[in-house]
Amino acid sequence: MGSVTGSLDRAGCEWLQYDYGSALMAGTRPASFTMWRYRKLLPVPDGPVRYPMPIGGTPLLSVPALRKASGTPHLWIKDETRNPSASNKDRATALVIEDGLRRGVGTITTASTGNAAVATAVGAAAAGMRAVIFVSTDCQPDKLALMTQARAWVFRVPAGYAAAVDLSRAAARAFGWLDRNTGANPFTIEAKKTVAFEVWEQLGRRLPDAMIVPVGDGPTLVALDKGFAELVSCGLATRQPRLIGVQAESCQPLVRAWSGVPAGPADLNPAGTAADGIAVVRPAIGDAVLDAVRRSGGSLLAVTESALLSAVATLAGRAGVGAEPAGAAALAGLECAVERGLVDRLETTVLLVTGREVKAGGAPPGAGRVAVAQGLDEVERALAGEC
Ligand SMILES: *Cc1c(COP(=O)(O)O)cnc(C)c1O
């Protein structure tokens, strides 16, 4: 800081004064820190990036008050809530849309429990693309409003999320749309692996001992495994961090599979948790999650609703981070991981905070439309009436 040399009274408002000179101004603006920084390890050809919003480059927070309160002096938070639509889904969306912009594809589709759909609607709006989203009928109204405000077409699928995925994928094949479905399009994992590169860079080109991550369909965790493995392949690291996946107690198919007692459909209640982002009955790439966790020497664990809600409060109260329950799951899992000896309190541990609660605000619904669809013909008919 230049030293404050006095103050002026300007119409009753106090203005601090400095010893003015050009040396006080910031130097040349640095190149921005976004996920495109790693484009040599992404399927992005040369030439300018067309995607119009800044993606990634999210902060790695040293959380001093949370470290003190939880007795974990080397804890970090990778804050993915800072992406444009407030979740890590923005990375995958950006890479899929970047590919579509280069190939001249005008429509993108996805099914989603909520956040991938919001990210897709917002990203498509900014890129000038049409988004056609498939959600289950219990999708949060606020998330639905955000999608229509971004002019997306939204189809509610009565048979639930798995049926929404099937319909979105069938529409992509039938109509030649971009398929952003998580786990189906390999670009979703490519984009999300950049979190591993950022954490490594932000820790001073070092890897943490462990990383704790919420798990729904699986790409977030599997992508971290791929990113860390690529750092080893590039000769920049010698070992990978342990990956610890967290699910909600009421819907924990992968924790059950990990423990060797697979869950039956009756054991899984996605509506029983406030963590909608990880309430997935049939994880798209569950086997890849189990494999990545095993190879990393990590584990999978389930947390209660009260632990999830208390983690939301602790993130707000001790770290200044606003998170939705799925976004706070890694913190909810930390205590449990320490108790079970999966993580030592003195280790360097990174919690991935994946998303923040989003509100549509008071704006009226946008130009997008909401319809119910059970099959492709209903989708085709609805879109044919579009003006
Ligand atoms: C999607 C999502 C997850 C889970 O990510 P997967 O890649 O599906 O395992 C976790 N938290 C939030 C906030 C999400 O939106």
Banded pLDDT at 363 (limits 50, 70, 90) = low
Per-residue pLDDT averaged across 234-244, rounded?
A: 97
Per-residue pLDDT averaged across 327-351, rounded?
A: 98
Q: At a CB cut-off of 8 Å and minimum separation 6, what does 335 contact?
A: 70, 307
Position 387 pLDDT exceeds 60: no
**How many percent of the chain have pLDDT more than 70?**
98
Position 290 pLDDT exceeds 70: yes
Banded pLDDT at 106 (limits 50, 70, 90) = very high
Position 357 pLDDT exceeds 90: no
Q: Which ligand 1 atom is nearest residue 323's CA? A: 13
Report pLDDT for 226. 98
User: Mutate which of 78, 81, 85, 88 to test ligand 1's pocket (most atoms within 8 Å of Cβ)?
Assistant: 88
Structure tokens at 218: 């699986």
Q: Provide residues with CB under 6 Å of ligand 1.
A: 87, 89, 115, 182, 214-220, 277-278, 324, 326-327, 354-355
pLDDT, tens digit (0-9, with 9 covering 90-100), for 109-140: 999 878 999 999 999 999 999 999 999 887 87
Q: If one looks up domain 60-86+188-353 in CATH, what number appears?
A: 3.40.50.1100
Closest by CA position to 88, among listed 80, 99, 77: 80
352 C-alpha to ligand 1 centroid (Å): 10
Q: At a CB cut-off of 8 Å and minimum separation 6, what does 64 contact?
A: none
Query: Do 60-86+188-353 and 106-176+362-384 come out as alike in CATH topology?
Result: yes
d(CA 146, CA 117): 9
> Atom 14 (ligand 1): residue with closest C-alpha?
277
The structure's pTM equals 0.94
Residue for token digits 């819907």? 251
Closest by CA position to 92, among listed 53, 120, 131, 113: 120
Inter-CA distances, 326 with 162, 180, 323, Å = 19, 21, 8
70 C-alpha to ligand 1 centroid (Å): 24
pLDDT, tens digit (0-9, with 9 covering 90-100), for 304-326: 999 999 999 999 999 999 999 99
- The mean predicted confidence, pLDDT, of the chain is 94
Strand ordering across the sheet containing 130-136:
178-179, 107-112, 130-136, 153-157, 369-372
Q: Domain boundaries in the chain? A: 60-86+188-353, 106-176+362-384
Residue for token digits 């729904």? 216
The fold adopted by the segment(s) 106-176+362-384 is Rossmann fold (3.40.50)
Report pLDDT for 306. 98
Q: At a CB cut-off of 8 Å and minimum separation 6, what does 119 contact?
A: 83, 84, 85, 87, 89, 90, 92, 93
Per-residue pLDDT averaged across 151-175, rounded?
A: 94
Residue for token digits 């099937």? 166
pLDDT, tens digit (0-9, with 9 covering 90-100), for 55-75: 999 999 999 999 999 999 999
174 C-alpha to ligand 1 centroid (Å): 27
Q: At a CB cut-off of 8 Å and minimum separation 6, what does 193 contact?
A: 41, 223, 224, 226, 227, 230
